Amino acid sequence: MIKRLEFKKIISSPIILGLFVLFLLFNCFLIYQQSNLRHDMKSLQPIVQETGTLMDEEGRQKLQTSYEQDLNTWNKLTQSKTGDTYQTAAEFYKPELYYSLIESNIYSKEELQDINKLAIKETYVNSIQEIETKYNELNVMENAEEGIRLFGLKGAAAEKVREQYAVLKPRVEELVQNKEHLHLFFHGKMFGTHSFLFKTLFGFMLFQAMILIVLFTAFIVNYEFEHRTALVTYATKRGRRLMWDKLLVSTFASTLVTVALLAITLSVYFIVFDYSGLWNVPISTGFLIELNKIPFISWWNVTFIQYLFMSCGLVVICQILFVLITFCLSMLIRNSYIVFTLFGVIFLAGLYMPSIMPKDSTMLLYTHFSPFILVMNVKKWWMESGVFTTFKFYEVITVTGWLIALLLTAWFFIKRFAKENI
């Protein structure tokens, strides 16, 4: 009963609902901006249906023959129309020929779509070889050295980084052996789906949920003080235990808000962009590599759908951490907007911490184990993620460590509050 009423305080405030809707609209707008890619992305599904996603010798052969067939069909058409033939589909788009062809209206709309599809297919065909050589030559130890040099790490810190990359090395060998890198997926250099989904969209959702959560947690924890009901409610023993209820309700509400935000936004995303047939592609596939040419090396062999759910789960847990941080702050400060501001200050301070650490101490690496740094880099969760955060269980350690510490702190504050003079 009490919990239900506490929950009502959150739900019945128009600002939470209003902001929630506003955030959703904003996310839809982001997806809408990206949606012009959907048609080009769709041309992957027919390929996958024909050849499967795995591009081993067999799959590659299939793709190659299918591509050559298509090119032949196209060349027959062009020969009858203009007398030209093309070695590759990309040749069609050479500017000196392309514009005159378009202006003279030789090809119908459908035919232009066909050549576009063929060109995309060609990109996939051409990428396979590139990916294979890249992964065969890939040496993560070199990447580690590069990172160490770039950030000027020394001594114990550099050693620790080398240690971690040495653990990563067998995983890369395993990845290549499993042929995880040779699965067809939306071409990263053309579409950048991974960055859009896991950086832009997840990044915004994390911050949106965080804003809502910090707002309502600070609000309900200090509700009795702000509404001058504190003297009544906290006069009894049960009243003092109200803080437990408030904490539980905020945690529950935060999960609800986060799940709702994730569910609605992601449903819109996957309705707009068709991922059918690609759910079970390993997340470490080389096709995901984007313009910065950094490969995605996950610590485990996980598929896209597993990765998506793992990330969603971690988002929810991160939000619980934020509930706990806000709760502890609210127990110290009885003013909700100062709590909000202080939370922002703590967040920025968390990001700032590593830069004041000496470059040769392992503390530099350990200061990266904070939820604030964690949420800034969703794109590289569960993966090789640069020299500072490449630990096999980085995400798990960060989250559990902070969860335990914050739970203890919260428990301490509640205990203290039970005996506090008001």
Partner 1 sequence: MRILFNEIRKLFSVKIICLLLLVSFIVYQQFIMFEFKYFPNGRPLLDDFRATQKMLVDYGKSMDNEEFEDFKEIKEQRIAEATEYLKSQKEMVAAGIDTYEEFSNMDLENEKLAALHSKIFFEDSVDIFWEIQARDGIIDRYEHPERFNEHELTPKQNARMDELVENGSTKAIFTDMVFDNYNCLIKYVAILIFLNIMIIHMPLYIRDKRNHVQLLQYTSKTGRKLFSQKLLTGISAAMIVITAQLAFFFFMYRGNDTSMFFPLPINSIFNFFVSWYDLTFFQYIVLTVICIFLLGLALVLVGAWVSSVAPNYMTSVGLHVPLAFLLFGSGTTYLVQNLTTIYLNPYLLPISFVIILILSSLLFMWRYRREKLKNI
Interacting residue with partner 1 among 85, 139, 267, 341 (CB under 8 A): 341
With respect to partner 1, which residue has the nearer C-beta, 90 or 345? 345
Interacting residue with partner 1 among 336, 370, 385, 398 (CB under 8 A): 336
Q: Count Cβ atoms below 10 Å from residue 321 Cβ, excluding itself.
A: 23
With respect to partner 1, which residue has the nearer C-beta, 22 or 231? 22
Site string for partner 1, 275-314 (x = CB under 8 A): ----------------------------------------
C-beta separation of 207 from 319 below 8 A: no
Interacting residue with partner 1 among 74, 135, 202, 216 (CB under 8 A): 216
Rounded least distance, CB 19 to partner 1, Å: 5
- DSSP letter for each residue of 52-68: -SB-SHHHHHHHHHHHH
Rounded least distance, CB 13 to partner 1, Å: 7
C-beta separation of 384 from 405 below 8 A: no
Burial of 358 (0-12, 13-18, 19+ CB in 10 A): exposed
With respect to partner 1, which residue has the nearer C-beta, 15 or 404? 15
CA 89 vs. chain centroid, Å, equals: 34
Residues 6+ apart with CB under 8 A from 144: 161, 162, 164, 165, 387
Q: Give the SS3 label for residue 305.
A: helix
d(CA 350, CA 8): 33
163 binds partner 1 (CB under 8 A): no
Rounded least distance, CB 349 to partner 1, Å: 6
CA dihedral 46, 49, 54, 57 (to 10 degrees): -90
338 binds partner 1 (CB under 8 A): yes
Rounded least distance, CB 195 to partner 1, Å: 20
Site string for partner 1, 217-236 (x = CB under 8 A): -xx------x----------
Site string for partner 1, 342-381 (x = CB under 8 A): x-xx--xx-xx-----------------------------
Question: Where are the alpha helices (H) located in 82-201, listed in sequence order?
Answer: 95-103, 109-137, 140-151, 155-177, 188-191, 193-195
With respect to partner 1, which residue has the nearer C-beta, 236 or 341? 341
With respect to partner 1, which residue has the nearer C-beta, 10 or 383? 10
With respect to partner 1, which residue has the nearer C-beta, 135 or 372? 372
Rounded least distance, CB 63 to partner 1, Å: 35
DSSP conformational letter for 186: S
Interacting residue with partner 1 among 15, 90, 291, 404 (CB under 8 A): 15
Interacting residue with partner 1 among 6, 16, 328, 378 (CB under 8 A): 16
Residue 388 C-beta-side C-alpha neighbours within 13 Å:
20
Dihedral sign from CA coordinates of 372, 364, 387, 291: positive
Residue 74 C-beta-side C-alpha neighbours within 13 Å:
26
Binding site for partner 1 (CB under 8 A): 13-16, 18-19, 22, 211, 215-216, 218-219, 226, 335-338, 340-342, 344-345, 348-349, 351-352
